[in-house]
C-alpha cells in the first residue's frame, strides 16, 4: 500500500521521538503503538509518526487531509477504532470521536480503560 504524504503543517515539522518519550514516560509504549495505528489507518508512513505532537487532534489532521466542510465517510476512523479495540481492548465512543482533544487525551483514555 502506498503511503500518503503528511499534510501541512505536519510535513514540515521535525521528527521528535524524544519529546514523546519525555511527555509519556511509562506510557510511551501505548503512545507509540497508537501513533503507529493512526499512521496505518491514514496511510501515513510510520517513520513520520513523531512529526505529530501530543496535543495535535485527530480531527485537525483529518481536516488537513480532507479540507471539505462536508464530513467524508471516515473510513480511517473505522480502521483505527478496529485496531485500537484489538490491541488495547478499548473502543472510542463514536459520538465523541470528532471531539477528542488530542493524542495526549486519547493515550490517557486508553491507559485509564486498561487500569479498570
Residue 2 lies inside a defined structural domain of this protein: no
Residue 6 lies inside a defined structural domain of this protein: no
CATH number of the domain that residue 91 is part of: 1.10.1200
Instruction: Specify the number of domains making up the chain.
Output: 1
pLDDT in tens, the chain (116 residues): 568 899 999 999 999 999 999 999 999 999 999 999 999 999 999 999 999 999 999 888 988 988 876 655 567 878 888 898 999 988 877 666 666 679 999 999 899 888 87
Residue 94, all three cell numbers: 463514536
Q: What is the value of pTM for the model shown?
A: 0.87
| Domain span at 104 | 17-115
Residue 102 lies inside a defined structural domain of this protein: yes
- DSSP for the chain, written as a single string: -PPBPPPTTTTTSPP-HHHHHHHHGGGHHHHHHHHHHHHHHHTB-GGGGGGS-TT--HHHHHHHH---SS----HHHHHHHHHHHHHHS----TTTGGG---HHHHHHHHHHHHH-
Residue 38 lies inside a defined structural domain of this protein: yes
Amino acid at each position: 500500500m502506498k503511503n500518503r504524504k503528511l499534510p501541512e503543517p505536519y510535513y514540515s515539522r521535525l521528527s521528535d521521538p524524544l519529546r514523546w518519550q519525555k511527555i509519556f514516560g511509562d506510557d510511551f509504549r501505548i503512545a507509540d503503538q497508537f501513533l503507529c495505528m493512526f499512521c496505518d489507518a491514514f496511510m501515513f508512513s510510520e517513520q513520520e509518526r513523531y512529526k505529530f505532537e501530543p496535543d495535535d487532534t485527530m480531527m485537525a489532521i483529518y481536516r488537513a487531509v480532507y479540507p471539505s466542510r462536508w464530513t467524508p465517510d471516515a473510513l480511517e476512523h473505522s480502521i483505527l477504532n478496529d485496531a485500537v479495540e484489538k490491541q488495547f481492548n478499548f473502543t472510542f465512543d463514536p459520538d465523541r470521536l470528532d471531539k477528542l482533544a488530542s493524542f495526549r487525551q486519547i493515550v490517557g483514555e486508553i491507559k485509564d480503560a486498561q487500569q479498570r
